[in-house]
């Protein structure tokens, strides 16, 4: 039998109800605020790309509940090994929108000094491992981090995120198999948005569900309504508690939908219908959460609207601040390679400095994807 779809809100194919997590009013507001901030960050990022102000962007429209609900159970000392579609997890970890836009502009404030692709963040102070483009590699990295925690006897965990397409990668098998054998404190979060760029999940696997794959690796698997933020939080909390207590890893399949394009270079109308998009737009995770909050008389409509306004203003200001920053210094090309710079690099550095601004016109070249 395929894994049941677990939910709190109901509807949307839910076959088993989860208990409503006990949360304070402030915690509920935090979930809602970070979901809205994630969407506004994505909207601003896509606008910047369409206006030619940044070269590339990867949105996560429709996946806000999956990101924020899962990230809500993380503690400060935990680690995250993400893919390129979890900006909300970074926000929930305390990363500022300015820091994230700094990466998109590749400016002097960028932690990677302009060396990474746009939307490939790294935030060491938040235990947020550098994002890489190769599909699935972060899964093996997460297992390694979790094993280090286990060897040290720490009650921490590593949470890794990946899409349905990554379940066909070598690293998915390697990471889950190793974690299952050695009981690594790892939470494997597959956000099944049903498309690996243009390939539908039905062409990706013949398993009944992705959660079913957990049995092959000797770990629990849960299939959760990924557009239900409270269900995501409840299920992830169970997985996190198991990891911290020494019971090993869990595979979570958060069933959702990528409502936007794969990236700013993609046209989803070429491989999916407007009818499918309309069906999922009716299951918008932010709208579902707001409807539940209003039904519980937890917040008023004006309070929820104020969150949207504040988030829009926050992202507009963040983009403005990032865009105004200068590009990285040319000297950064020679840093982070050797503890003591060798003479050969010193000569190259001096030669580049002597050229002055001869290549200044290249700074605004668009990213080629």
366 DSSP assignment: P
Half-sphere exposure of 148 (CA within 13 A, CB side): 8
Which residues, 6 or more positions from 362, have their beta carbon under 8 angstroms from its beta carbon?
none
CB 30 within 8 A of CB 236: no
Question: Does 359 qualify as catalytic in the annotation?
Answer: no
Quote the CA–CA distance of 72 and 90 in Å, as a whole number. Answer: 11
CB 293 within 8 A of CB 299: yes
Angle at 322 between CA 76 and CA 70, to 5 degrees: 30
Which of 44, 164, 118 is CA-nearest to residue 366? 118
Residue 29 in tokens? 């507001």
Half-sphere exposure of 58 (CA within 13 A, CB side): 20
Question: Does 262 qualify as catalytic in the annotation?
Answer: yes
Identified catalytic residue from 271, 347, 353, 363: 271
Cβ–Cβ contacts within 10 Å for residue 317, how many? 12
Quote the CA–CA distance of 239 and 211 in Å, as a whole number. Answer: 13
Quote the CA–CA distance of 231 and 220 in Å, as a whole number. Answer: 17
Which of 70, 243, 80, 73 is CA-nearest to residue 154? 243
Catalytic residues: 258, 262, 271
């Amino acid at each position: 039998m395929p894994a049941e779809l677990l939910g709190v809100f109901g509807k949307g194919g839910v076959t088993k109800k989860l208990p409503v997590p006990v949360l304070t009013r402030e915690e509920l507001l935090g979930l809602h605020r970070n979901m809205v901030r994630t969407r506004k960050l994505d909207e601003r990022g896509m606008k910047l790309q369409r206006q030619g102000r940044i070269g590339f962007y990867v949105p996560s429209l429709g996946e806000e509940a999956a990101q924020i609900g899962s990230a809500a159970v993380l503690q400060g000392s935990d680690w995250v090994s993400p893919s390129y579609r979890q900006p909300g997890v970074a926000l929930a970890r305390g990363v500022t929108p300015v820091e994230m836009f700094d990466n998109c502009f590749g400016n002097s404030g960028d932690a990677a000094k302009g060396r990474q692709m746009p939307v490939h963040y790294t935030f060491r102070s938040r235990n947020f491992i550098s994002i890489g483009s190769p599909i699935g590699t972060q899964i093996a990295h997460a297992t390694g981090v979790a094993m280090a925690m286990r060897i040290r006897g720490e009650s921490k965990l590593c949470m890794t995120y990946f899409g349905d397409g990554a379940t066909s990668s070598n690293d998915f098998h390697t990471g889950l198999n190793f974690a299952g054998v050695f009981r690594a404190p790892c939470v494997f979060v597959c956000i099944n948005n049903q498309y690996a760029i243009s390939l539908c999940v039905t062409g990706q696997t013949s398993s009944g569900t992705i959660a079913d794959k957990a049995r092959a690796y000797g770990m629990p698997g849960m299939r959760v309504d990924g557009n239900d933020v409270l269900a995501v939080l409840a299920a992830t909390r169970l997985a996190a508690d198991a990891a911290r207590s020494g019971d090993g890893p869990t595979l979570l399949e958060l069933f959702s939908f990528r409502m936007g394009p794969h990236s700013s270079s993609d046209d989803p109308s070429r491989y999916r219908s407007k009818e499918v998009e309309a069906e999922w737009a009716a299951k918008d995770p932010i709208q579902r959460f707001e409807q539940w909050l209003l039904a519980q008389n937890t917040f008023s409509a004006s309070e929820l609207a104020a969150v949207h306004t504040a988030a829009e203003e926050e992202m507009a200001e963040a983009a403005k601040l990032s865009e105004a920053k200068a590009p990285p210094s040319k000297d950064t090309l020679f840093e982070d390679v050797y503890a003591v710079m060798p003479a050969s690099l010193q000569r190259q550095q001096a030669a580049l400095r002597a050229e002055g601004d001869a290549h200044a016109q290249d700074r605004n070249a668009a990213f080629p994807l």
